[in-house]
Structure 1
């Protein structure tokens, strides 16, 4: 989920995800800027004490939209003695699938990017071992995935439809505002979304329609949307960065599934308006988690990395890097977010237990209805 150096959900591409060796003066300067130790204090499950662990490699498995500032990564490595190695098997949905398929021989030590639409699948498959960070912010407790502490909430964001203001102005067509609007003839062939079977934002949007129309209406909605020229692609990056007309891809579709924060990225420096906008009446709230992988070779390092993600410096970095909200509500947000990146006042909701019980059946029904 990104563009040039940044993308709305995970603004920086994965090209720099190589093994980084800690270096002295740069790391120390970054630590001074951060104003605190980035190694974290550890939790109540053995803690993440790097001095006891003796360093080593920490393998981080994430989605292809993960991004943090390089100086923070370097500072963590210098402060903790760990060296981070990153791998990204794909979108959030692909990440969960890979974690489950490889749980007997895990791809890494810690995973970031499992979201609330897929969390129960990973938990039920026993992909993670419990870990309770000592410094979990009070504002994060509402997002805990289970009572066992299998996953730690790191960030939140609203998955919403976005529109290209310029396209609609040039074509003299009023912009849609609601899910129902997309079914009107004037919006035929204008919408692109990622597949919920392979994309976590895609699944979040499917859940938004379940929340909006209920068990009796969501299937009919998708049948009608499909009949109105809907385009479906594998992942968020294809939809936003290739097919959407309002971003760098300059595609043919002026309506795309993305995030409420995406328009803030598209604002030109010094501009007082955004060329795109999020439809806040179409949203589903997404929570992203990190967890220690069961069978990890370096569980101490995995815990240290989770503690690192909860530090003030990293939480403050998340909005500018991944264009989602930090889970710590005490963190000051960029000024532009008030205008260009608001959270939806009333996102659609589906109870976690209903997602767990019905997700696979809903995805199959969606596939039968839309893909055939």
Structure 2
């Protein structure tokens, strides 16, 4: 996820305007809306049955507008604040939440379903509603470490040790959401400016930085199924080992990868009613539904993140192979907003240049 704000090309701006026109047309020009429009990122997924359940309960059709990664979706929404191309936006996470709030993008809405959430999530800012959370963690290739007779790292600090030289691949925080989360994890662990010395050590120890998760995990990491990679440590997610089991070509009793609990950084994804929404009531119904047990039970299998609703049963693969950190790292959104660009610029100077 890019942290560099760019003006959208003219063609993209035209597409946004066209989308807004289509949404207006779909609402019937003053008649009661027949659909609700969700603006989100490309990783959003919901099973067909759950989507149909919402449409049956609400009497509305659900249209999903996917707009690149989470930061791109937010950028587009900010460009049309007050005259949005949809009714609800989903996928705003902690690292950019302050931008959405300061951009006057959202209407206040406090869902009655918040009372059913886990305690960590039941009192958000009134403009947003938490929907899921995921933890960005180090992942290791079990077989590589067993073959080489080396113990895998158990902490962020371990990565500076000589035995892990040239073994780690990370994502660039200027272009990647997990890359930013990992940078924030190092700030939370080593402090500011202590994190800078840590990254100097990682660079001296041969860390490889690439643009995004796809390249890091599927091309550079040795533990991913079918990957040609040679690096056995990667920044990924707490649920990645479960995904390796679920998508394996043959049944597996043990995941070929493992997540390292130390240094895991929590990302919470939020939904909100877009200011100027053409179907605000439908948007509220959608947000309520996204917190329902039906939708929350679908979250792990569809998007490989954790639900925020309390007592939701997790897939067996999550229970057996994913990590659920007891005390994940987090930084206040206000602190991230004040320092994000400076931290990313300094990281680039230390690691890339």
The bucket for the TM-score relative to the shorter chain is: 0.7 to 0.9
1:280 corresponds, among 244, 258, 261, to: 261
Q: Is the Cα contact below 8 Å between 1:282 and 1:347 reproduced in 2? A: yes
State yes or no: 1:297 paired with 2:278: yes
CA distance in 2, matches of 1:97, 1:206: 22
Instruction: Please tell me whether residue 204 in structure 1 is matched to residue 174 in structure 2.
Output: no
Aligned residue in 1 for 2:239: 261
Which of 182, 189, 192 is matched with 1:215 structurally?
192
Equivalent of residue 153 in structure 2, options 160, 163, 176: 176
The aligned runs of 1:345-356 (5 Å cut-off) are 345-356=326-337
SS in 1 for 2:343: helix
1:133 and 2:111 matched: yes
Unaligned runs of 5+ in 1: 2-52
| Distance in 2, Cα, partners of 1:209 & 1:145 | 27
Offset at residue 305 of structure 1 (A): 1.6
Name which of 37, 40, 55 aligns with 1:62: 40
In the alignment, is residue 94 of structure 1 matched against residue 75 of structure 2? no
Where do 1:101-250 residues align within 5 Å? 101-103=79-81, 105-140=83-118, 142-143=120-121, 147=125, 149-250=126-227
Higher helix share: 2
Per-residue deviation, residues 256-280 of structure 1 (Å, max 9, x unmatched)? 1111111112125653311100010
Distance 1:179 1:204 in 2: 13
Match of 1:341 among 322, 326, 344: 322
TM-score normalised according to structure 2 size: 0.82
Change beyond 3 A, Cα 1:370–1:97: farther
Conserved 8 A contact 1:63-1:92: yes
Compute the displacement of 1:327 (Å): 0.4
The Cα shift of 1:215 comes to: 0.7
CA distance in 2, matches of 1:264, 1:290: 26
Q: How far, CA to CA, are the matches of 1:321 and 1:355 in structure 2?
A: 29
**Compared with structure 1, are the counterparts of its residues 364 and 296 closer, same or farther at alpha carbon in structure 2 (3 Å cutoff)?**
farther
RMSD: 2.4
- Seen in structure 2, the aligned counterparts of structure 1 residues 308 and 242 have a Cα distance that, compared at 3 Å, is farther
After superposition, the C-alpha distances for 1:257-309 in whole angstroms (9 at most, x for unaligned) are 11111111212565331110001012111111111112223222222221111
Flag the 1:234–1:134 CA change in 2: closer, same or farther, 3 A: same
Q: Counterparts of 1:371 and 1:144 in 2: how far apart (Å)?
A: 40
Query: Could you say if the C-alpha distance between residues 112 and 171 of structure 1 is closer, same or farther in structure 2, counting changes exceeding 3 Å?
Result: same
State the Cα distance separating 1:318 from its structure 2 match.
Answer: 0.8
Structure 1 residue 222: deviation in Å?
1.7
Question: Deviation at 1:102?
Answer: 3.8
SS of the equivalent of 2:95 reads coil
Q: Which residue number in structure 1 is paired with residue 18 of structure 2?
A: none
> Structure 2 stretches of 5 or more lacking a match?
2-30
What secondary structure, in the 3-state scheme, does the structure 2 residue paired with 1:135 have? helix
Give me the TM-score of the superposition, normalised by structure 1.
0.78
Give CA deviations for 1:32-79 in whole Å, capped at 9, x if unaligned.
xxxxxxxxxxxxxxxxxxxxx844232222222211111111222233
Corresponding pairs, count: 320
**Aligned mates of 2:115, 2:335 — CA distance in 1:** 27
What CA distance in whole angstroms lies between the structure 2 residues aligned with 1:194 and 1:74? 36
Flag the 1:329–1:146 CA change in 2: closer, same or farther, 3 A: closer
Aligned to 1:307: 288
- Are 2:340 and 1:362 aligned? no
